[in-house]
Every structure is written in C-alpha cells, then in structure tokens.
Amino acid sequence: MTKFFQIIFLILSISLFCINETRATHIIGGDMSYTCLGNGRYKFILKIYRDKSSGTVLDGTAAIGIAKCNLGGGGIQCSSLTQRDVDLVRVNLTSTRDVPPPPYDCVETPPNVEVQEGTYEFELTLPYSATESYHIIYQRCCRNNTINNIQNPLNYGATYSIEIPPIVQSQNTCQNNSPVFKSFPPIVLCADYPLNFDHSATDAEGDSLVYSFCPAIAGGGRNGGGATCNSPAPSPACPPPFNLVPFKAPYTAANPMGGSPMITINPRTGVISGVPTTQGQFVVGICVDEYRNGIKIGSINREFQFNVTSCKLSIVASIAADSVKNSELFIINSCGKSNIEFTNHSKDSIKIKNVEWLFNINGRSSIATTWHSIFDFKTPGTYLGQVIVNKGLPCTDTAKIEVNIFPEMDADFDYDADSCVYGPVSLLDRSFSGSGVMQSWFWNINNETTSTSRSPTHIFNNPGIKRVFLRAKDKNNCVDTITKFVPYFPIPPFLLISSSHFEICQGAPLKLSNLSRPIDSTYGIKWYFGDGDTTSLYNPTHAYDSAGIFSIKLEITSPNGCKGSKIFKDYITVRSKPKALFDFSPKNLNTFQRVTQFKDQSVDAIRWNWTFGNEYSTFIQNPSYTFQDTGQYPVRLVVTNNIGCKDSLTLLVDVEPIVTYFLPNAFTPNNDGKNDEFIGKGQFYGIKDFKFKIWNRWGELIFETNNPEEGWNGRRKNQGEMSENGVYVCTIEYEGPRGKKQKIEGFATLMR
C-alpha cells in the first residue's frame, strides 16, 4: 500500500472521538467572499471543503457569527456578536477521476479520491460605521488526524471569516466587492513532480492583489457545549482575535510543505510553484490582500489541505524488445537481419502528440517520426538509440534502445542410416554461424527422446516418417530451428511367426501371427502355406484340404522396396479326417408319420454324435427318432476317427403338417342325439382361412361359419325355423399350414 493510500485509509477511519462530529467532519478547507448589493446590504458566499467518506456529511445549516469590532490600543475589541443560521444551498463533488493534478494531465493518481464543496449563501444588512469593522465568521471542528504539518490536528478546528472594514463601508453606494478565488485547488499533488498551480483571484474593481502563505486559523474544538468556543460547532461563533494553529517543525505558515525547490507562492500572480518531495497531507493558508491607491482596503483567505502522493506518468515510452535492462534500456537482438522493424508500445497513445526515433548508424544520425519505424543497420555491430514521445511537451518520456546485429546463423542437419537394415540412425549437425562458434544444440527426435549432443544417434521403435527437430544456438545466443522428416522403413532383423497349433486335422482352421518387428501396415506381407495357397493378410487364418506336412514361408517388403523372407520348414502337420455320411427312411414324414430310422454311412469313423434339432442327441451309430411335432429339423452327425479328427454332416428333415377334412352325405336333425348336425370330420391342426357355406335350392345362403369345429343344425343361420327336407349345396375353402389352398364342393341331405 502506497503512503498516499495509507493516508486515505486513515482519513476514512476518522469517524472519531468527538460528540456531534458525524456531520462536517474531515473538513479540509474553506473560504468566504462577499458582494456589495447597495444600501448597506451584502451577499456572502461561504465554501466548505470536506473529504467524502461513509457516514459523514456537510452541515445542513451553518451557524454564522456577525461581530462588530474596532482596533483599540489593546488589540481588536468587539462590541456586539449576533448569529445567523444559514442553509446549505448546493454540494459539488470533485474527484481525481475528473481533475488531474496540476500542471499535467499525463500522470496516474490514486482513483476515486473525492472532495465535497458545500456552498452556503446569505445576505446581511450592515449599518454604516466609520470606526468599526464587521467580521462575518464560521467556525467548525474537525480536521483530519493524518495531517503532517500541524501539531495535534484533531484538537484544532478551523475559522473561515471575512472583514468589511470602515474604509469600504458606505451609506448608499457600494465601495467594494471582495476578491474571489478563480480555481478549485488540486485534490492531489504528485511527489517529485513540478507544481505550477494558479491560485489567483479576480477583483471586480481591479484593485491590486498581493498573495502570500499565511497562518491557519483555529476555531471550534472537540469538547464543550454549543455556546463555547471549544465546541465542535460554536453557536454563536467566537469573535476575534482568533487563535492560530501551531505548525510542526520544520514546517511554518510561510513554508507549509517544504519541497525542493521549496513550495512558494508568487505575491503578484498567485501561482504556487516548487517540487513537493514529501508524501502526506499539508494544511496551507493562502491570503489575498486588496490594495487601492496603495492603501490596504481588505483581505480574503482560503485554507486547504493539499494531499501529496506518489504518481507515475501515464505517458510511458516503450517498445517491443527481447529484454529490458534496469527498466529503461530496451535490448533488441537480431541474427543475420540488419533491417529492423520497431514496434511502439508507448502509452497512453491518445495523449501522445509526437514520436521521434533516433539512432547513430556508422557515425550518422538517422531519425524517424512515425509511430512505428524501420531502420537498416547494414552491418553487424551494437547500435544505441532512443525513442522520445511528446518531445518538447510537459508530458514526455524517453526509452533508450540497444540494437545488436549479429552474424547470420542457420540450423541444419543430415541423417545417415541403411534404409533396409534395422539399426541406429545417425543425426549429423550441419549448422552454421557467422560468429564461427556454435554453443548448444537441442534435439527432439519424434517425441521419443531428446538430446543436447551435437550429433546424436537413435534407434526408432517403429517404422515410419520420423519428425526430427533441431534448435541450435551460437555464442551470440542467436537461435535457429529446423525440422526434417526422416524415412525409417528397415526390414526386421528377425522374421518370426507363431501359430495356434503345430498339428491340426484336415480342414481345421490354423491361426498364424506375424511377430516380426519393426513393421507396420505400410509394409507388404505375403504368406505361402505350402499347399499352393497364399495371402497378404497380416495375421491370417488358413485351412488345409489335404493331409501332410507343410512348410510355411513369410515374405516382407518395406515401403522403400527392401525385401526380407524366411521359410519355416515342415512347420505344420495335417492329419486325415473321417467322412461323415448318413441316410434315413422313410423320408416322407408328416403329421401321421413322424418316426424314421437313421443309418450311418460314414468312412473311418469310430465315434458318432447325433443331434436332432434342439430336442435330442445320442451316440448310437444307427438311431431311430420320433419327431415331436411337424416342421423342418436339422439333423447333424459328428464323427471322430481313431486319431481324433472330426467331420460333420447336417441334413434337413421335413415333417410335413397335413390337414384332412371330410363331409357326411346326410344328417337327421331330430334331436335324438345321433347325426343331428351337418359337420366335417378330419385333422384340422394348422388350418387357416376356413370358410364353410350352405345354400338352399333358391340360392339363398342359409348358413356360414369360419370355425371348422362348428356345423349346421338345419335351421336358418342355426337360429330360425327348421329347414325342409331336401338336398342343399355346400362349399368348404381353407388354406393348409404351408399355404396350400383347398376347395371342397358337395351336398348336404337333410332328413327328419
């Protein structure tokens, strides 16, 4: 935390000790002026300045004292004292966001330091007196406890008053108006920056004004009631003579701030100048004496608390550089390139009015005035220069520049490897520096490893196009990089394979794996199985159709055309397998015939395993089997020979579903329980889309049903009156289980 911010923190912490100090505390200054309205009437303006902080406000009403005094032999003698309560008419708020410290607008100050300016306006009628002055007085406690240049600041309030002496009083016409300060004082001053603030006043009559630093006047205190001079807000205000605030050494009323050179005020112009060097808060009294024809006719004074803090320029000269030394020397290094582009990073660019670049190149000055610039230094060497922003203006800054032009440096390398043989790859540094001395190397070899050797070697784990990166540096710290792609596709030093078995049965799958390394999918692979078959699969599966002993050959071709091969002699023994065969009888199985006999016809079999669909299995050589239902059933026979080789055969056995439907010739619906219904007989399982219809001799449909289990009882639709004896036409249509359509036409003879 800077000292200034510590000061602000302390200011905001003074909600302090005094009773009735919650209003108008943190007073930091004030002044009073008057205007003559004629006929002994005057308008007065009182301004009070206060640090704005939470919980404190300006007094809504100011107790103004009016004293009538003369100057006797023993000093000022006041004969009467009256009071006027005056309302606050307006409050202005000023902060460092709005007003920069004088005289520059190019420094950065602590943000949001705020001061309230409260204005009280009132009019008084003052009867003419040839011997007595009128003193208009306002007194208020308290000052900030953090003030540096007075003793025990909390114990002293302030008095703001103005005198109307007999010399300017008049019965009817106005003889004078008081001077009025032109400017609001600066809220913040910058330590170690020149101060040049115009604190002058204007005078309506054009009288001569003389300016000086003067004592701060005490008034009000921390104790006592409202009628005492030591109360926070004396009511009424106490008349002169007034007490002065004691300054703390080495400060005095005439030297309120110190500085180097010391802060002074020009008696003729009112300009306060000097260089404040001590951070803190300082009470400063400014008096303006008014002279007419060489005679002093009046005086005004202002008291204000000046805050001095550490500031920094918002305008800063800066450029893009490789490094910065001691925060002021910008260093740019260039290797092999003499034409240098300078990038201006100066701030605040909006406030920068001009830019000047200056270099001494081989004994000649070279200047540029653009925001960015380009200079050609032509030959290697060290060159000094500078960039100045706002040259000749109050807000200016300079950045020193050092440019080092080094000889050219290029990184490069070769690689050495037998393209067909698996082994180390040598990386050979070919970097060049005009300085003649290389300093260091850094290699990144395909993200597999790094090296700082000048010319390293490396064995890659896998084939492929390998990315090799080199960063080389010479004695001038010039750095260059290069990336190359190294092809690496050697033939494996050993061709290796493995298999799921070394002895298999004829027709059984053999799984082969290629264990040769290093290779990848870009390599050409070819297998020779020894039975005339080949493949280009990486890890193939193969079945041999005949028995015997077979050699296997593996051939590998790299992407760059290198070849390697190996024969694995008598690698696989293939054993003969039996031949599975069978037949069955009868073959035409159906709903009524579901039993059949199976007969083994296999060759060289000694064991049998039958499976009938998912229903049943057996190890009998010639089994018979009854199928549980109609349908198609896979029947599989697996046979094994005397060396354990197997063969299998699967046949599909069809058990056909059959539907039968038969109609009688006649029926006798006489309710004797015998032949009372005309209905079909047979096997109905699996029947679909059944339609049974009967017509009389007039072609009238008298019965129909979709249910094969339902017959005709002789009545109309099986519900009306009994039909006459006779012959009736009937039809039956249906679809069998496998989609075969059937139609039966016949006659139904009804007899009772």
Ranking 68-77, 157-166, 224-233 by mean pLDDT, the lowest is 224-233
Cβ proximity of 124 and 85 under 8 Å: no
Q: Which residue is listed with tokens 């007989």?
A: 681
Q: Give the torsion through C-alpha atoms of 333, 337, 338, 341, to 10 deg.
A: -70
CATH class of residue range 582-656: mainly beta
Q: What is the pLDDT of residue 235?
A: 85
Question: Given a cut of 80, is residue 621 above it in pLDDT?
Answer: yes
Rg value, the chain, Cα = 60
pLDDT at 403 over 80: yes
d(CA 488, CA 319): 47
Joined tokens for residue 67? 């004293």
Q: Please state whether the peptide bond connecting residue 623 to the residue before it is cis, i.e. omega within 30 degrees of 0.
A: no
Residue 373 has pLDDT above 60, yes or no: yes
Does the pLDDT of residue 575 top 90, yes or no?
yes
Lookup: tokens for 10? 């302390």
Residue 199 region by backbone torsions, left for phi larger than 0, else alpha for psi between -120 and 50, else beta: alpha
CA dihedral 311, 315, 321, 324 (to 10 degrees): -20
Q: d(Cα 677, Cα 666) in Å, to the nearest integer?
A: 9
pLDDT, tens digit (0-9, with 9 covering 90-100), for 43-96: 999 999 998 765 567 889 999 999 999 977 778 888 878 899 999 999 888 776
Three-state DSSP class for residue 350? helix
Average the pLDDT over 669-686 and give the result. Answer: 89
Contacts of 73 (CB under 8 A, 6+ apart): none
Strand order in the sheet with 726-735: 666-667, 741-750, 726-735, 688-695, 701-705
- The 10 Å Cβ neighbour count of residue 352 is 21
Q: Which residues contact 72 (CB under 8 A, 6 or more apart)?
A: none
DSSP assignment, residue 455?
S
- pLDDT band (50, 70, 90) for residue 613: confident
With 90 as the cut, is the pLDDT of residue 429 above it? Answer: yes
**The tokens of 494 are what?**
């050993």
In the chain, % helix, strand, coil (3-state, to 5) comes to 5, 50, 45
Cβ atoms of residues 530 and 545 within 8 Å? no
Q: Please, what is the average pLDDT of the chain?
A: 89
Residues counted in the chain: 752
* Helix, strand or coil, per DSSP, at residue 716: helix
Tell which CATH architecture fits domain 497-575.
Sandwich (2.60)
The strand pairing partners of 148, in sequence order, are none
User: 3-state DSSP call for residue 196?
Assistant: strand
DSSP string, 357-401: EEEEETTEEEEE-SSSEEEE--SSEEEEEEEEESTTSSS-EEEEE
Report yes or no: 401 and 328 within 8 Å, Cβ to Cβ: no
Helix (H/G/I), strand (E/B), else coil: 166: helix
Q: Where are the alpha helices (H) located in 77-198, listed in sequence order? A: none
Q: How far apart are CA 318 and CA 313, in angstroms?
A: 12
Alpha-carbon span 285 to 215, nearest angstrom: 6
d(CA 145, CA 164): 33
Mean pLDDT calculated for residue range 390-412: 92
CA gap 555, 567 in Å, rounded: 9
User: Is the pTM above the cut of 0.75?
Assistant: no
Higher-pLDDT residue of 267, 14: 267
Closest CA to 484 of 470, 468, 472, 498: 468
**Which fold is adopted by the domain 315-406?**
Immunoglobulin-like (2.60.40)
Residues 179-189, mean pLDDT to the nearest whole number? 91
- The DSSP code sequence of 597-615 is EEEE--BS-SEEEEEETTT
β-partners of residue 572 are 550
Q: Are strands 438-445 and 413-416 parallel, antiparallel or unpaired?
A: unpaired
Coil/strand/helix, residue 534: strand
At 405, the amino acid letter reads: I
Q: First and final CA of the chain: distance in angstroms?
A: 128
- The two beta strands, 449-451 and 438-445, are antiparallel
Is the bond into 540 cis (omega within 30 degrees of 0)? no
Give the distance from CA 724 to its chain's centroid.
99
* pLDDT tens-digit series, residues 499-531: 988 999 999 999 999 999 889 889 999 999 999
Q: Spell out the residues 6+ positions from residue 249 whose beta carbon is closer than 8 angstroms to its own.
A: none
Token pair, residue 93, equals 């708020």
Every domain of the chain and the residues it spans? 3-309, 315-406, 409-488, 497-575, 582-656, 666-750
pLDDT (0 to 100) of residue 114? 83
- Three-state DSSP state, 207: coil
Q: Which residues contact 198 (CB under 8 A, 6 or more apart)?
A: 182, 183, 269, 270, 271
Is residue 491 a contact partner of residue 422, using CB atoms and an 8 Å limit? Answer: yes
* pLDDT of 163: 95
Domains 315-406 and 409-488 share a fold: yes
* Structure-token match 């008084």, residue found: 124
- Tokens representing 239 are 């008349």
If we measure between CA atoms, which residue out of 12, 59, 266 comes closest to residue 160? 59
Model pLDDT, residue 41? 94
- Answer yes or no: is pLDDT of 451 > 90: yes
Model pLDDT, residue 104: 64
Q: Which fold has domain 666-750?
A: Immunoglobulin-like (2.60.40)
Region of residue 425 (phi > 0: left; psi between -120 and 50: alpha; otherwise: beta): beta
Give CATH for domain 409-488: 2.60.40.10
Integer angstrom CA distances of residue 699 from 304, 349, 382, 693, 714? 131, 113, 127, 11, 16
